[in-house]
Amino acid sequence: MNGVVELLPERQANITSPANGSIAFISVKIGQRVEKGQTLLTVKPLFVGSSLVAIPSPLSGYVTKQNVVLGQSITPETVLMEIGDTSQVLVRG
């Protein structure tokens, strides 16, 4: 029997920015394990005089997607990364 392994919805997170800006630094790579609170990336806000904003991971898990590159312009609606906790998964057969 073939099966499909899926992350549970409550064990994954889309990472977004609180403000418009651009990507200043990416601290992690796809497939890397991260801990809750660890800095994932740094955003340079669009507002003049604003300091850099570090975006932390909301949960422990793995970086499953990275949707941005250095210097890319972003908005609060942009999904920057996805984090997934693989400690429990759903297998459909």
Find the mean pLDDT for residues 45-64. Answer: 93
Say yes or no to pLDDT of 62 above 80: yes
Nearest to 17 by CA among 49, 47, 69, 56: 56
Burial 13-43 (b: 16+ CB within 10 A, else e): bebebeeebebeebebeeeeebeeeeebbeb
Q: In this predicted model, what pLDDT tens digit does every residue of 2-54 receive, in sequence order? A: 888 888 788 899 999 999 999 999 999 999 999 999 999 999 999 888 899 99
- pTM > 0.95: yes or no: no
Residue 89: which pLDDT band, with cuts at 50, 70 and 90?
confident
Say yes or no to pLDDT of 55 above 90: yes
